[in-house]
Amino acid sequence: MPRLDHAAFETDDPDATAGFYERILGARVVKTEGHPVMAYVGNTGFAFHKRGGPGDHVGVRVSAAERAEIKRRLEQAGIEHEERDHEIAIGLFFHDPDGRLLEAITYASGEDSRNV
């Protein structure tokens, strides 16, 4: 069943922004080479990218089968979409009718290995 996975934001200083979430919300900050700086509040991640990254978006965690079904529905509806390989996950990016960027994300291990 799909569930909220993360909210991603572009920022000039990902480390400083994550530090704010750590100090104010008690988030657990995780830095992994080649990935955004993550701040976890419970099971929900806040991903902080340098400006020029994938753009602000909301990620919904789905299984591989659910991602394939979403892709089929997008294609059937004629909605543009793009799959990206994040190494630890595959993301399917698309916009809702109001222009918000969404990502249907499937982790290779079934879980976000950074949030353990």
Which domains, ranges and CATH numbers included, belong to the chain?
Answer: 3-107 (3.10.180.10)
Angle made by CA atoms 51, 55, 60, in degrees to the nearest 5? 140
Residues 99-111: tens digit of each pLDDT: 999 999 999 876 6
**Residue 93 clears pLDDT 80, i.e. is over it:** yes
State what percent of residues in the chain have pLDDT above 70. Answer: 94
Confidence band of 80 (pLDDT split at 50, 70, 90): very high
pLDDT digits 0-9 by tens, 21-46? 999 999 999 988 878 899 999 888 99
**pTM for this model (two decimals):** 0.81
Q: How far apart are CA 61 and CA 20, in angstroms?
A: 25
